Structure 1
């Protein structure tokens, strides 16, 4: 019985570590996300709204960005140059020593960015390449 308890305890520790473990993704993963993104634009940021999701949750911010499509590289949704779009995404605020996937950056009003996106069912756009949705990952 004691051996069973130790085995079960070891199993629980293993499962707990597996569930909570996060690691940075290799550059090749971000390259693939960018290659697979259905919407690829150059955008100019017109407005940015950044809010915490709740009173007690300070681990992330919800970003709502109004932008103008400066250039269309590809668009499954049929977006056109000059079109005004809305992007919504969650931006993690990692603490010191954090290890995990790259968090999406805060975008700045007036600046231009490459944008690897996907269109949501509500008509807004979401991250198409996770934390590297607003920079081009160079192939290695």
Structure 2
């Protein structure tokens, strides 16, 4: 009996940890992002982890437009972006994964500078490389 209760509690706790995020929360993350840029992706390298199914991504990009920049980026600057694309599991709910950038693509980017890695990282989770989500 105690094992069943513990299992039920565990299932309830983990199901809330992988729930989808509401669109207005993604918008709030975008609005709170230190960097809002328009980028042209120059190169992308990927490293796939066989066991987790996740992909580490490293992209180099050129800044085409600066809407907001706490790190004083300017048009023409080249930056490095690093992040992990988490593979979504079939039939599981959860936050949308950060998409894998493609070479030559032009995209909006909501980023933050990571001084420890000396690169930029996505700051709006799965909405980091989308246009600003409209308010409804």
Question: Is it true that 1:49 corresponds to 2:53 in the alignment?
Answer: no
Cα offset, 1:107, TM superposition: 1.1
Separation in structure 2 between the aligned mates of residue 92 and residue 107 of structure 1, nearest angstrom: 13
Q: Deviations over 1:112-133 (max 9, x none)?
A: 0000001001320001100110
SS at match of 1:74: strand
CA distance in 2, matches of 1:15, 1:95: 19
SS of 1:33's equivalent in the other structure is helix
Matches of 1:50 and 1:28 in 2, distance apart?
A: 30
Calculate the aligned-residue CA RMSD, in Å: 1.7
Cα deviation 1:40-67 (Å, max 9, x = unaligned): 10000000001124xx424210000000
The answer to whether the aligner puts 1:139 opposite 2:130 as a matched pair is no
Unpaired runs of 5+ residues, structure 2, are none
Correspondence for 1:64 among 49, 55, 58: 58
Q: Identify which of 95, 107, 115 aligns with 2:89.
A: 95
2:12 to 4, 9, 17: 17
What is the total number of aligned residue pairs between the two structures? 133
Radius of gyration: which is bigger? 1
TM-score, normalisation: structure 1: 0.87
Establish whether residue 112 from structure 1 lines up as the match of residue 118 from structure 2: no
1:17 positional shift: 3.1
Corresponding position: 1:30 with 2:56: no
User: Hey, what's the Cα distance between the residues in 2 that align with 1:49 and 1:17?
Assistant: 37
Q: Which runs of 5+ in 1 are unaligned?
A: 1-5
* Cα deviation code 1:72-104 (max 9, x no counterpart): 111111111110000001101113212100101
| Secondary structure class of the residue paired with 1:69 | strand
* C-alpha distance in 2 between matches for 1:81 and 1:25: 32
Structure 2 residue aligned with 1:3: none
Equivalent runs, 1:75-86 vs 2, <5 Å: 75-86=69-80
